[in-house]
Amino acid sequence: MTLIQSSIFDVSSIGNVSTANGYVISNGANSVDITAVEDFADENVQFTQSKGGGFTEGSALKIGGITVSAGGTFSFDFDFLTEEFVGQINDSFLLYVKGEDGTSEIITVVSILQNAADFELVNVEYGGPASLTDTFSYTFDTAGTYEVTLAVLDSENTVFDSAVSVKNFQVDGGGISPDESSPIGIIEDDTSPDESSPIGIVKDVILLEEPSPIGIGDASFQGEFDGINPTEGDSQYLITTGLISVSAAEIVTFAPGIDITPLENAGEFIEGSAVPLEPIVAEANQQLTFDYNFLTNEYPNSFYNDSFLLHVASADGTVSETVTLASIVQNEEDLVERAGDFNFHTGYQQGSYTFSTAGTYDITFAVVDAGDNWVDSAALVDNFQLI
């Protein structure tokens, strides 16, 4: 099976598409209006649904340049997650296929109403959040070159989010024949290619190379996010307690020694996401400085103490320290109401950590959800300097 760089295909996106866990497409913060998603897929397409209200917003990933023979397939594994009440609001995951001859087709891969019986409920009493994991395959009836658009769309409201994590993209029956100047194929057996076939036989099964995650859970690089620009350069870390977060136990495994003991009467930490930096070699009394903005949809006086943490661990094991940079309780007076998908934030401010002794250190930033997994918090982090 040949692993081919994504540059072989034309990969583009609109809205909230990240590489936190495979390709993650979300109708949450940074989504765009439904008309923008439709125009991105094809200026002539309109996404409608037979059940539920109209689509309001969403995000999409497009993969072009897929050349197949008749009967070829395009498949992927996916995990669809939603905060909506299952059986009520019809957020959907759609696949739009367009051929170079102008033919097109819209397929509903998952919708909350269509697949209500298939979801696994996280909270059975309230009907959500919920997830559905499966494999999808599309068969091309005729040979040709196609582009496919995967879209996650919000139905009726923009309050509760849905997202899909997509992995293991595979084209079977691709029939790609690179020219002699681009020897991307490999020999299918042990036979040496003859002079008339200098690049050998190209296998029919092709994988789209997937990006490596930068952390664990819902963590990604962003440019502008929810109206907030990076403080340095053109990208910033985004760490959230959103739909593809992982359990608190997984964060502890990912960053051994991190202290996620909750404050008394402030809710147990149940899930979150984390990002490590490259190991830092520091001299005694050097400082790591950085900019951060803590965002949340929890109310500042909430019982649920969502928190933004910094964990520092030395390679020799003598230092293991967790610092709460921001939290609902700690920053109650600092959280300012704002317009956007996150209702409150601290605004960008500078954080720092002083290394008391020389050595090599592992640095991890984490955002953890306390008490519930309905209302999200996040942190933007940027402009790291060792001074």
> Residue 129: is the preceding peptide bond cis (ω within 30°)?
yes
Identify the sign of the CA torsion 73, 76, 77, 78. Answer: negative
Give the CA dihedral 197, 199, 204, 210, nearest 10 degrees: -170
The DSSP result for 293-319, as a single string, is EEEESS-TT-S---EEEEEEEETTSS-
Burial category of 177 from C-beta neighbours within 10 Å (exposed 0-12, middle 13-18, buried 19 and up):
exposed
CA distances from residue 16 to 31, 157, 164, 349, 370 in whole angstroms, order as listed:
5, 17, 11, 25, 24
**Digitized pLDDT (tens) for each residue of the chain, 387 residues in all:** 222 234 467 889 999 998 866 789 999 888 999 999 999 999 999 998 766 668 999 999 999 999 999 999 999 999 998 888 777 788 999 999 999 999 999 999 999 888 888 888 764 343 456 788 999 999 999 999 999 999 999 998 777 889 999 988 888 875 444 333 333 232 233 333 343 333 333 334 555 555 566 789 889 888 999 999 999 999 999 999 988 888 999 999 999 999 988 766 566 888 999 999 999 999 999 999 999 999 999 998 888 899 999 999 999 999 999 999 999 999 999 999 999 889 999 999 999 999 999 999 999 999 999 987 778 999 999 999 999
- Provide CB contacts within 8 A for 31, sequence distance 6+: 15, 16, 57, 58, 59, 154, 158
Distance, in Å, from the CA atom of 56 to the CA atom of 15, rounded to the nearest integer, reads: 13
Distance, in Å, from the CA atom of 252 to the CA atom of 146, rounded to the nearest integer, reads: 44
What is the pTM (predicted TM-score) of this model? 0.76
CB atoms within 10 A of CB 190: 5
Q: Could you say which of 2.60.120, 2.20.25, 2.40.10, 1.10.490 is the CATH number of the domain covering 218-386?
A: 2.60.120
Both tokens assigned to 169:
């993209």
Identity of residue 48: T
